């Protein structure tokens, strides 16, 4: 730590998922947004942040400026192409060694390692030993919970073991919700005091209220009831539930559903959703838009009447925050931080049971205007505390806790 300014030099790890990768693709979603925004804001607050990720493509420049002085640094490990997450495990020692070489060659020093996701936690564990610095971890999602839900691919034992070890070995764990904290304790036996809870943030400069008609005009959308889904196309996201809800609304509100997310790797999953759409005779009511650039999403949120989060599992749920920042209400399953993000009946609804009937019921209440949903500026105001400046400040306080502990222990 710079003793004069009291500012931290942070090495962030995002080994498998590139923070500037295509959002909405199979392995790139909320965590990438989180790392990018947090790194930028921490730098804005005077800290130094280098984010390390694997070279996925020979065309990747070694260093990318993330803004405010935050740097994304590409490190070689394995072939310079997309490698499945599990196969990547065997290249983690290469990543750690190449990263250490890069650090030495460039005379870099860090006060702590901040690892994101289990693969990074493995690398962080070695850096923590080599550098004698604290190691802070954030899982974003956990293998044991995913397996407990039992929807989608089974997570390997390797992941569970690595996460359990990271819980034991790291100096501090950041959870984005109280629920996640409880899960880390229940599944991996963490000491409660070791876990700090800090929610995720939203870029309220990007996600702003716009004129709905103008947004629709720009997107070539008609003046009709519009529902929006945004996210990776993953069975855990529960898009099938939403399609069933839309089918139930066909004879009443008859909304149009816009589905954003999914890339070529998701062909099978998207094909399956399109088949269901056809089976339910909804083809002309559902539009699959594929991945949309993050900076274009405000237009879509603003064009919608309701954003729906029908997930079986979210570690946090950034999409809900983004929609609310645009003044658009959210109907969501009771996952992630929805209970805190959404004000029940005022800025949307959180369903106690994630089912198509419940989703259809609450969507219909909002579309018909019969509930007590507030006006767009009130909805936007309700999530003001999630501004990245507040969230990065809270994260920095968590990081200081271990940097002080570590310094006291060494002294
Ligand atoms: N996203 C995007 N374009 C897409 C799909 C998703 O920019 O085509 C972004 C979305 O705006 C959000 C993130 O990806 O910021 C998804 O985060 P969330 O926490 O909702 O889900 P996760 O990916 O963490 O499961």
Pocket of ligand 1 (CB under 6 A): 23-24, 29-31, 33, 230-232, 260-261, 291-292, 294, 297, 316-319, 322
Residue 291 Cα: closest atom of ligand 1: 8
The model carries a pTM of 0.95
Q: What average pLDDT values come out for the chain (411 residues) when binned by 10 residues?
A: 80 95 82 97 98 94 97 96 92 98 98 98 97 97 94 93 98 98 97 98 98 98 96 94 97 96 81 95 96 97 98 97 98 97 98 96 98 98 98 98 66 42
Q: Residue 326: which of 155, 183, 187, 205 has the closest Cα?
A: 205
Alpha carbon distance 259, 256 (integer Å): 10
Pocket test for ligand 1, best of 235, 319, 320, 321 (most atoms within 8 A of CB): 319
> Mind listing the domains of the chain with CATH numbers?
9-201+387-410 (3.40.50.2000), 212-385 (3.40.50.2000)
Using alpha carbons only, how large is the chain's radius of gyration in Å?
A: 21
Residue 188 confidence (pLDDT): 97
The predicted structure's pLDDT at residue 408? 55
What is the rounded distance in angstroms from the CA atom of residue 379 to the CA atom of residue 395? 25
Q: Which residue is listed with tokens 């604290």?
A: 134
Cβ atoms of residues 201 and 42 within 8 Å:
no
In angstroms, rounded to a whole number, what is the distance separating the alpha carbons of residues 92 and 198?
28
Q: What is the pLDDT of residue 403?
A: 84
Q: Which residue has the tokens 């060694």?
A: 97
Atom of ligand 1 nearest to the CA of 31: 24
Q: What is the distance between the alpha carbons of residues 341 and 3, in angstroms, rounded to a whole number?
A: 37
Residue 109 buriedness (CB in 10 A; 0-12 / 13-18 / 19+): exposed
Q: Are strands 70-75 and 63-67 parallel, antiparallel or unpaired?
A: antiparallel
> What is the secondary structure of 161-220 as a DSSP string?
HHHHHHHHHSSEEEESSHHHHHHHHHHH---GGGEEE----B-TTTS----HHHHHHHTT
Predicted pLDDT at 25: 77
- In a mutational test of the pocket of ligand 1, which residue from 16, 23, 116 has the highest number of ligand atoms less than 8 Å from its CB? 23
Rounded Cα gap, residues 301 and 379, in angstroms: 13
pLDDT of res. 152 = 85
State the Cα–Cα distance between residues 192 and 184, nearest whole angstrom: 9
Q: How many helices (H) and strands (E) does the chain have?
A: 16, 14
C-alpha atoms less than 13 angstroms from C-alpha of 147 in its C-beta half-sphere: 11
Which atom of ligand 1 lies at the shortest distance from residue 33's CA? 15
């Amino acid at each position: 730590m710079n003793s004069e300014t009291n500012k931290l030099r942070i090495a962030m790890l995002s080994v498998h998922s590139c923070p500037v990768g295509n959002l909405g693709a199979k392995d790139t979603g909320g965590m990438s947004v989180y790392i990018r925004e947090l790194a930028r804001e921490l730098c804005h607050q005077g800290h130094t942040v280098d984010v390390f990720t694997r070279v996925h493509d020979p065309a990747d420049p070694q260093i990318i400026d993330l803004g405010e002085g935050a740097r994304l640094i590409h490190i070689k490990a394995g072939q310079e192409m997309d490698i499945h997450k599990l196969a990547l495990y065997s290249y983690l020692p290469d990543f750690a060694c190449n990263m250490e070489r890069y650090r030495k060659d460039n005379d870099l020093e860090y006060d702590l390692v901040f690892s994101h996701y289990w693969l990074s936690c493995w690398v962080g564990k070695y850096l923590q030993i080599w550098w004698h610095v604290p190691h802070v971890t954030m899982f974003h999602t956990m293998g044991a919970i995913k397996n407990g839900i039992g929807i989608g691919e089974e997570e390997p034992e390797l992941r569970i073991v690595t996460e359990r070890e990271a819980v034991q070995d790291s100096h501090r764990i950041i959870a984005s919700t109280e629920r996640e904290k409880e899960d880390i304790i229940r599944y991996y036996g963490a000491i409660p005091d070791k876990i700090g809870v800090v929610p995720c943030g939203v870029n309220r400069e990007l996600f702003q209220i716009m004129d709905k008609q103008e947004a629709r005009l720009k997107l070539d959308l008609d003046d009709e009831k519009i529902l929006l889904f945004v996210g990776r196309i993953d069975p855990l996201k529960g898009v099938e539930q939403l399609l069933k809800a839309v089918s139930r609304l066909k004879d009443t509100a008859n909304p149009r559903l816009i589905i954003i997310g999914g890339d070529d790797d998701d062909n099978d999953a998207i094909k399956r959703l399109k088949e269901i759409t056809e089976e339910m005779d909804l083809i002309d009511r559902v539009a699959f838009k594929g991945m949309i650039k993050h900076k274009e999403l405000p237009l879509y949120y603003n064009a919608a009447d309701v954003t729906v989060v029908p997930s079986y599992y979210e570690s946090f749920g950034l999409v809900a925050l983004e929609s609310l920042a645009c003044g658009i209400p959210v109907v969501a399953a009771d996952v992630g931080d929805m209970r805190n993000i959404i004000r029940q009946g005022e800025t949307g609804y959180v369903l106690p049971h994630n089912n198509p009937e419940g989703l259809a019921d609450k969507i219909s209440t909002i579309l018909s205007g019969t509930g007590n949903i507030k006006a767009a500026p009130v909805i936007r105001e309700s999530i003001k505390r999630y501004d990245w400046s507040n969230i990065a400040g809270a994260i920095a306080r968590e990081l200081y806790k271990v940097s002080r502990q570590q310094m006291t222990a060494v002294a």
